[in-house]
Structure 1
């Protein structure tokens, strides 16, 4: 829709150059900690634990589908082609992280705190970011259809070429640039949109949303 925009400069994860394979237990326990390594091809769908810590870890092709990992602490991590669909990651603390070509459909990140996070080429339809605290977060080339941002804090948060159809915004969008995102409808109030940046074409969508008629 709009011109290509430069992404916010983020701090990249500080990862080992050649991470060694990490061996995870069959069952994670509360407050387990894992550092500086690679987790590849594992299936962690049945995990149920609080406050697990991963620091300096690369996840490649790992499935967390429907895992219950509340208050997860992630620092300097990379998720590459991982599946976190329907995972309960509520109250997670995520710092210097990248999600690349991952699935987070229906993932629960409510009340989470995200700092210096890049989400690129990911599927996040129905993701729950309600009341999350985002600062220095970039969503790029990702699908966020019917996502929930209600009451989230969006500081230095950018969306580039994302799909947002049916998203529940419900939070101030001042300074947020949606001009190259795609949607046919959003759930938000006029006050939410005050100071939001949109394209000329999107103005017609919002006009219809609020019952206005635009004339040429």
Structure 2
């Protein structure tokens, strides 16, 4: 008698349905802060835990390498604040204002950013995990060479978003508007762009691994044809 045939294992998608193939949404954990102590903006780098900064100015302060743990920022300004290599862990910010926001090589983990108004945001080589950017207007966001996992943008206006060399997993944009999107060298897995207005895209192959809707596909058709060298004639 021939031995029984072994069936190959069935791979399940992130949605929990066998073979559904659906785009996995960001898995966000809530950020809950309690019992925070009112504090003034620090004058030098350090570790800051359990503090609430309300209406404080961080402008021009060198906080390179600082760690903010379980902190809340309400209507603060951070123009030219030195935040290279800083870590924001379990933090919430509402109404952040900075014409120039400098936080390269920073870490954002379990962070909520609400209603930010940023001019030039230097966020290259960042590590984001469980981050929700809700509302606000961002002129230029440089996330080059960053690793983004479980990231959600909702209701944002971003004039220029640079994702050159980004590795993104489970990232979604909902009801956002993006003027110019640079995807050179981007690597996407479960990135959801549906319901977001996209005006221009650099390096269309970077869309591989992203999900778009029917309307976006129609708007992108001329760009896709040009990228493939197709001539469309009526």
SS at match of 2:159: coil
In structure 2, C-alpha distance between the alignment counterparts of 1:84 and 1:67, rounded to whole Å: 9
In structure 2, C-alpha distance between the alignment counterparts of 1:160 and 1:180, rounded to whole Å: 6
TM-score normalised over the length of structure 2:
0.81
Aligned to 1:201: 215
1:131-186 deviation digits (Å, cap 9, x = unpaired): 11111110111112211011111111111111112111221334322121002211
- 8 A contact 2:52–2:73 mirrored in 1: yes
Aligned to 2:15: none
Matched residue count: 207
Match of 1:182 among 197, 212, 216: 197
Question: What is the RMSD of the two structures over their aligned residues, measured on CA atoms?
Answer: 2.2
Aligned to 1:162: 176
Aligned to 2:14: none
Aligned to 2:40: 23
CA separation of 1:200 and 1:213: change in aligned 2, threshold 3 A: farther
Of structures 1 and 2, the larger Rg is shown by 2
Aligned to 2:12: none
1:24-61 deviation digits (Å, cap 9, x = unpaired): 34x223xx111102101011111123101111111001
- Give unpaired runs (5+ residues) of structure 1: none
- 8 A contact 2:26–2:150 mirrored in 1: yes
Shift of 1:21: 0.3
In structure 2, C-alpha distance between the alignment counterparts of 1:205 and 1:165, rounded to whole Å: 14
- Give unpaired runs (5+ residues) of structure 2: 1-22
- 8 A contact 2:137–2:157 mirrored in 1: yes
- 8 A contact 1:207–1:214 mirrored in 2: no
Match of 2:164 among 150, 163, 175: 150
Greater strand share, structure number: 2
Shift of 1:215: 8.2
1:47-95 deviation digits (Å, cap 9, x = unpaired): 1231011111110010002222111111111001111342110010111
Aligned to 2:29: 11
- For structure 1, which segment, 201-210 or 74-83, has the greater mean C-alpha deviation from structure 2 after superposition? 201-210
In structure 2, C-alpha distance between the alignment counterparts of 1:158 and 1:83, rounded to whole Å: 24
Match of 1:46 among 55, 60, 75: 60
- 8 A contact 1:204–1:214 mirrored in 2: no
- 8 A contact 1:80–1:101 mirrored in 2: yes
| Higher relative contact order (Cα pairs below 8 Å, separated by 6+ residues) | 1
